Amino acid sequence: MYQFKFQKAKSVAEAFAGLGKDGDAKLLAGGQSLIAAMKLRLSQPSALIDLGDIAELRHIKVETGTVTIGAMTTHATVAASAEVKKALPALAMLAGSIGDRQVRNQGTIGGSIANNDPAADYPAACLGLGATISTNKRKISADAFFKGMYETALDAGEIIISVSFAIPKRAAYVKFKNPASRFAIVGVLVADFGSSARVAVTGAGPGVFRIAEMEKALAAKFAPESVANIKVPAEGLNSDLHAQADYRAHLITVLAQRAVAAALT
Amino acid sequence: MSVKVSMNVNGKAVSAEVPERTLLVSFLRETLNMTGTHVGCDTAQCGACTIHLNGRAIKSCNILAMQAEGGNVTTIEGLANADGTLHPMQEAFRQNHGLQCGFCTPGMVMSAVDLVKNTPKPTEEQIRELMDGNICRCTGYHNIVKAIAAGATSMAANP
């Protein structure tokens, strides 16, 4: 790891001021991706601004129609939250499927979506559950937030405060995971909002994406057979030693059916 | 460049000047000379470096010492009683031959104690699923799973 300066921010304002002082500074949330990337020298910020002590960024709030999670809330906290399990069980399950127990105890939702790893789980939850990302400057819809591989709509100096998920009638997330890293080779989140439906796919492409044709079919009838014959073209999907693009394309249809079936049980 | 880091390790206040980039595991092993916590993969996959930070199991190779600033850390050295009597989970690993080469054991034990704290009566399936963040290179998982089940029973009997 290259040397860097370190600052512990006591508030969002202090973190913002720190970012303003150094254009190559980065925010440090749980660090479960960033520290690993820095060890490999894939990332070399001049300074880290640690958000770990900002208590106001750790919260869970369930209101009519929405579940809001503070940016520094860990995956383990979301997975174990009785409120989240009751209001939006698919989100608690998704959080409980990230990485392993130790990673879930340290990794955060804000860190995960700011990093936007193409195989991460939370981007699928944000996109599939029509989330709104609140920052220190504005509110961004998930549809506008994720910009492809490791890129987001966040500007320099912009800090995620919380993520609000719309509570659907029913939803489920099913992933086919890499057994070593536990990242999604393909993960599909389906959500039934009554008159509409959303289908978000992670792991398969250069970034999380929706499948309009499946959403239309599920809005008409929320059942596994509605998506059984909807194929996604392999072109543009990821190919690596774990799975070729055509296999990932095949998995999308299979997992979408399983997710719909899981949402219905 | 260096920074002052202070925390509580196994009930004792410790403090040192270290480079900012010092990992928590390096701080424990190299600054404090507490080598019970192991570095296996150094990529947050194998779990040999598992310790407890503020009561939760984490991988100490994947966080900076400064992230634990002001926190409470428990390592494998802090698990046994002062008189040397083993923690019930350590005793269960011993009784069930849960160690082979022993390299992964500190992480396995620390992870298992956290597992049982959050899932007091784990089934065999739960143990296998929830221990997926710890890898044994001897692949001797069978006795490790047996040890954790026994350790869970014994922890319930000796809270």
Per-residue pLDDT tens listing for chain B (159 residues): 899 999 999 999 999 999 999 999 999 999 999 999 999 999 999 999 999 999 999 999 999 999 999 999 999 999 999 999 999 999 999 999 999 999 999 999 999 999 999 999 999 999 999 999 999 999 889 999 999 999 999 999 976
Residues facing A186 on adjacent strands:
A176
Task: Provide the whole-model pTM.
Answer: 0.96
Looking at the domain assignment, is residue A134 inside a domain?
A: no
Q: Among all chains, which residue has been given the structure tokens 């080598």?
A: B35
Please spell the DSSP secondary structure of A126-192, one letter per residue. Answer: HHHTT-EEEESS-EEEHHHHB-STT-BSPPTT--EEEEEEEP-SEEEEEEEE-TTT--EEEEEEEEE
Which residues have C-beta within 8 Å of that of residue A138, sequence separation ≥ 6? none
Q: What is the CATH number of the domain that holds B52?
A: 3.10.20.30
Instruction: For residue A66, tell me if it sits in a domain.
Output: no
What integer pLDDT is reported at residue A232 of this predicted model? 97
Q: How far is A216 from chain B (nearest CA, A)?
A: 36
Task: State which of B58, B78, B98 marks the end of a domain.
Answer: B78
Which H or E run includes B133?
Answer: none
Q: Which of A1, A52, A101 sits opposite B67 (nearest CB)?
A: A52
A8, A31, A50: residue with CB nearest B62 = A31
Q: Which chain B positions have a beta carbon within 8 Å of A31's beta carbon?
A: 62-64, 67
Which two tokens mark A24? 């190559």
pLDDT score, position A161: 98
Q: Identify whether B121 is part of a domain.
A: yes
Where among B24, B43, B78 does a domain terminate?
A: B78
Nearest to A1 among B21, B47, B66 (CB): B21
Evaluate whether residue B143 is within a structural domain: yes
Decide if B83 is inside a domain: no
User: ipTM for the complex?
Assistant: 0.96
Do A29 and A110 touch, CB atoms closer than 8 A? yes
The CA-atom distances, in angstroms, between A128 and each of A125, A197, A198, A202 are 5, 9, 5, 10
* B44 in any annotated domain: yes
pLDDT of residue B1: 82
- Sheet strands (E) in chain A: 5-8, 25-28, 47-50, 60-63, 66-70, 132-135, 139-141, 160-166, 170-177, 184-192, 197-202, 209-210
Preferred mutation among A38, A40, A104, A105 to probe B, highest tally of B CBs within 10 A: A105
In a shared domain, residues B17 and B71: yes
- B-interface mutation test, from A101, A117, A178, most B Cβ less than 10 A away: A101
Say what the pLDDT of residue A2 is: 92
In terms of Cβ atoms closer than 10 Å to its own Cβ (0-12, 13-18, 19+), residue A177 is buried
Q: Does B7 share its domain with B66?
A: yes
In a domain, A128, yes or no: no
Residue-number span of the structural domain to which A29 is assigned: 5-50
pLDDT surpasses 90 at A97: yes
- Phi-psi bin for B126: left (phi > 0), alpha (psi -120 to 50), beta? alpha
| A82 interface with B at CB cutoff 8 Å | no
Q: Tokens 């009561």 sit at which residue?
A: B55
Are B63 and B107 found together in one domain? no
Contacts of B69 in chain A (CB under 8 A): 8
- Give the mean pLDDT of A17-32: 96
What CATH number should be reported for the domain holding residue A9?
3.30.43.10
pLDDT at position B158 is 78
Residue reference for tokens 């921010």: A9
Q: How many domains does chain B have?
A: 2
Q: What is the mean pLDDT of residues A80-86?
A: 98
Residues B74 and B92 in one domain: no
What is the CATH classification number for the domain harbouring A174? 3.30.390.50
Whether residues A3 and B20 touch (CB distance < 8 A) is answered with yes
Q: Looking at residue B40, what is its pLDDT?
A: 96
Q: Any bridge partners for residue A200, and if so which?
A: A189, A210
Cα separation, A103 vs A221, in Å, equals: 38
Instruction: Report CB contact under 8 Å: A101, B114.
Output: yes
Are residues B102 and B50 part of one domain?
Answer: no
pLDDT class of A245 with cuts at 50, 70, 90: very high
Tokens at A113, concatenated: 């979506």
Whether B21 and B64 map to the same domain: the answer is yes
Chain B residue numbers with beta carbons less than 8 Å from the beta carbon of A4 are 20-21
Q: How is residue A150 written in tokens?
A: 């490791």
Domain carrying residue B72 = 3-78
**What is the predicted pLDDT for the residue at A14?**
97
Q: Please check whether residue A43 lies inside any domain of the structure.
A: yes
- For residue A181, the model assigns a pLDDT of 83
Summarised one tens digit per residue, pLDDT across range A178-235 is 988 889 999 999 999 999 999 999 999 999 999 999 999 999 999 999 999 999 999 9
Rg (CA), chain A: 18
What amino acid occupies position A45?
Answer: P
Show which of B52, B78, B104 is a domain's final residue.
Answer: B78
CA A141 – CA B138 distance, rounded (Å): 48
Domain membership flag for residue A255: yes
Model confidence at A50, pLDDT cuts 50, 70, 90, reads very high
Q: Answer yes or no: do B62 and A36 touch at CB < 8 A.
A: yes
A33 domain-assigned: yes
Q: Considering only the beta carbons, identify the residue of B23, B45, B133 that sits closest to A101.
A: B133
